[in-house]
Chain A
Amino acid sequence: MAKDKKPAAIGLQFDTDWQYAPSPESRDHIQLKEQYELFIGGQWVKPESGKYFDTINPATEEKIARIAEASKADVDKAVRAARNAYDKYWKNMSPKDRGKYIFRIARMLQEKAREFAVIETMDGGKPIRESRDVDVPLAANHFFYYAGWADKLEYAFPNRRPEPLGVAGQIIPWNFPLLMAAWKLAPALATGNCVVLKPAETTSLTALKLAELIQEADLPPGVVNIITGFGATGAELVNHPDVDKIAFTGSTDVGKIIQRAIAGTHKKVTLELGGKAANIIFEDAPLDQAVEGIVNGIYFNQGHVCCAGSRLFVQEGVYDTVVRKLKDRMETLIVGDPLDKNTDVGAINSASQLKTIQEYIRIGQVEGAEMFQNACALPKKGYWCRPTLFLGASQSHRIVQEEIFGPVLAVQTFRTVDEVIEKANNTNYGLSAGVWTDKGSKIFQVSSKLRAGVIWGNTYNKFDPASPFGGYKESGFGREGGLHGLGAYLRF
């Protein structure tokens, strides 16, 4: 009979004799080029600048490919290609046919799901479990959802004569590269717009693979243009006079720059910016499931989530229990090779983001919050950060006020409902929030008073193409997803 290994003190031991063997997802089936050009007018075009930059795997620090850097001239070329395609093909195409193209993209994305998932994980560092089960299927769903709307716009907006805007410039972040591309492209195309899309410089690859797919799907040339580069490239796109609409997802700082740049122009804009979401646990909450929600809220995608539940509020009576459960759960998180099917927390997206996170961890300690990190071993190469918890944080701490965009959770307690609402709203952001209680009425009571665009009840980080997403205050304006997402690309 097996031996009894009762731990000496009260406490559970998750570093067990029985370990999961490494289970890496195969990379044999993916096709990557050594060098990627710009996708303009349906062609792969060398950049006018002649400049390229490397994209690396943040888990190994190895170079994956060389990516073209688009200059002002390239941006201009792309916008002209989009305008040309808009006038020549897309504007006059029957909505039903536009829908067919989008359906085709959705189906092809499903067929190539495995390849996209592996590349997304290699380029961005997120666990394959997430890219396989969340990013890629959700991206395909967005195309399916909006494809269905393409020929039904009059029903979406009865008696309002919806018309496309023209050319949309879209700039997306590095945390959900493919999914954000889908969020941007699908509604723009369904409403009859043509697009110039710029992915983030650290994660261009899945957008470029999507360009290959779009080429294969035989979309009319120039309807979708994908140009790569840094912030300067994005700025050229924002400032281009022939762009009718800017859709941006990213940091609040850049959002403000964009807002200033387009002031006084005809350009419409939607901004989906940062967040510092409150995740609120009441005493009567289903605590074990709430702990899952906390973990999912802050450690999903290494905390690189604008709607991450980065401020945890726990009602006094269950504080000790919740913290105990949370610490135990953190010890079971597997941090490491993102391509391993058992990995829960992958690599930090870039060296500079890791530096930012580490700086905040230092600040949290200096501010006097009590730090806890799980005890897992980290790989030697690559950019890694242990799931981190700060207990005894307060509203005036920087780790509570500022978006860290990493796996760092600041924990506070509260006593009354009014108190937690006041504290939850006491932030310059307002993208999302979570409420956990066994009482349905309390969910509605609290969420009606929280100033946040998305509020989850007894769950967290749930996304659906039919559900609008967007923020209050410095989290931006405009909504993506659902009917709201269509409206952002139409004039009436």
Chain B
Amino acid sequence: MSASKMISTFNPRHVVTIDQVGVEERVAKFKTRSIKKESKVAALKLALNMIDLTTLEGKDTEGKVRQLCFKAMHPHDALPGIPTVAAICVYPSMVRVAKKALEGSKIQVASVSTAFPSGQAPLQVKLDDTRFAVDEGADEIDMVISRGEFLKGNYNFVFDEIAAIKEACGKAHLKVILETGELCTLDNVRIASEIAMHAGGDFIKTSTGKVQPAATMEVTLVMLEAIRDFYYATGKMIGMKPAGGIRESKQALHYLVMLRETLGQAWMSNEWFRFGASVLANDILMQLVKEQTGIYQSHDYFSID
């Protein structure tokens, strides 16, 4: 089926409006939740288990990817009873390496595609990019939307492109990166979320990590609310992945509070929520060690991969 034959089920006139000041106030309230003791430990473990451990550099090597995969499976063996991360996120050229390194584990391999991070390529190139990653063994595809076309108001183009990539994904899960740092307004974030969900995305994701600002709680809240409304309208659950800029455990806890109070129990696992992050993992480990021993250890006690 070609992209042009997909019928857009998305109508921008039916999209709820967003008041930025109100969103900021709600976010501030999430941040005042006090998370202590056993509640904190449980949340830290959950957050670790939701991480898509990421390396997306031009200078990535196979060796670095292998090291990252080992870290994913063994975040900190000195501390018993901690979970693995959810997935490794790499460029398509590294998918095969990661897949092999993770053999026997339950950790997923996610690959960015569609001319990540800019998405400035023809559809055919994006389709080939996606099929290559899937053929190499990627379990999940993180695509970028065409922000230029979106900002022009060419929503059908964006919709059709996502639908076509979804088709190319086959069994792989599709995460749709909105690159909210380039969408200018929260209203646009809401519209882009609706398009991505209606066009077949399994997850919606904030950012590539290559544009500032990357994930913010405000943007994530708007997307979680879009997921909630989509769920009520269709019965279909969509996953959420804030990515970029979440570096500290405390931030991760704030995101989990927001997730809990916006979507509730059903979304509180890595099947439905992911953190796209790299340094966050070590900060969580440091906090977990501190909760157990009462002492903050220096960075040198945690492996950097």
Contact = CB atoms under 8 A, between A and B. Distances in A.
B232 to A, nearest CB: 6
Contacts of A324: 232
A341 B33 CA distance: 7
Given A12-B264, A16-B265, A342-B33, A4 B271 contact: yes
Interface in B228-269: 228-229, 231-232, 235, 237, 256, 260-261, 263-266, 268-269
Contact of A1 (B16, B21, B36, B106): B106
Contact of A332 (B23, B38, B106, B261): B261
Given A14-B261, A129-B32, A332-B261, A288 B16 contact: yes
A23 B265 CA distance: 22
A18 interface: yes
A285 B271 CA distance: 33
Contacts of A321: 16, 229
Given A16-B265, A17-B268, A6 B237 contact: yes
A292 B39 contact: no
B270 interface: yes
A20 interface: yes
Given A133-B32, A288-B225, A458 B17 contact: no
B268 A16 contact: yes
Contacts of A18: 39, 42-43, 46, 256, 260, 268
Contact of B23 (A14, A19, A21, A289): A289
Contact of B39 (A2, A15, A20): A20
A4 B269 contact: yes
Interface in A348-386: none
A293 interface: yes
Given A21-B39, A23-B36, A10 B231 contact: yes
Interface string A423-440: 000000000000000100
B260 A459 contact: no
Interface residues of B, number: 42
Contacts of B271: 1-2, 4
Contacts of B229: 321
B22 A289 contact: yes
B270 to A, nearest CB: 6
Contacts of B18: 286, 288-289
Contact of A10 (B106, B235, B270): B235
Nearest to A329: B261
Contacts of B235: 10
A33 interface: no
A379 B46 CA distance: 29
Interface in A119-165: 129, 133
B102 to A, nearest CB: 13
Nearest to B39: A21
- Say which size band chain A's interface belongs to: 35 or more
B151 interface: no
A307 interface: no
Contact of B16 (A7, A287, A293): A287
Given A1-B269, A3-B269, A133-B32, A14 B22 contact: no
A129 B29 CA distance: 10
Contact of B264 (A13, A20, A21, A23): A13
B21 A6 contact: no
A286 B16 CA distance: 6
B241 to A, nearest CB: 15
B77 interface: no
Contact of B263 (A3, A12, A290): A12
A438 B20 CA distance: 11
Nearest to B43: A18
B208 interface: no
Contacts of B39: 18-21
Given A12-B264, A342-B33, A292 B26 contact: yes
B266 A6 contact: yes
A5 interface: yes
A15 B265 CA distance: 7
Nearest to A4: B271
Interface in A284-337: 284-290, 292-293, 321, 324, 328, 332
B35 to A, nearest CB: 6
A459 B19 CA distance: 10
A10 to B, nearest CB: 6
Contacts of A23: 34-36
Interface string B50-83: 0000000000000000000000000000000000
Given A285-B17, A438-B17, A458-B22, A14 B266 contact: no
B25 interface: yes
Given A10-B231, A286-B22, A289-B19, A20 B33 contact: yes
A141 B79 CA distance: 49
A2 B47 CA distance: 12
A16 to B, nearest CB: 4
B36 A13 contact: no
Given A18-B39, A324-B232, A341 B22 contact: no
4 residue pairs, one from A and one from B, having the closest CB atoms: A289-B22, A2-B269, A286-B19, A21-B39
Interface of B: 16-19, 21-23, 25-26, 32-40, 42-43, 46, 49, 86, 106, 225, 228-229, 231-232, 235, 237, 256, 260-261, 263-266, 268-271
Given A5-B269, A289-B26, A458-B19, 11 more contacts: A2-B270, A10-B231, A16-B265, A18-B260, A18-B268, A21-B36, A286-B16, A286-B19, A288-B22, A324-B232, A459-B22
17 contacts: A1-B86, A1-B270, A2-B269, A6-B266, A10-B232, A12-B228, A13-B264, A14-B260, A16-B260, A16-B268, A17-B268, A18-B46, A18-B268, A21-B38, A286-B16, A289-B21, A438-B17
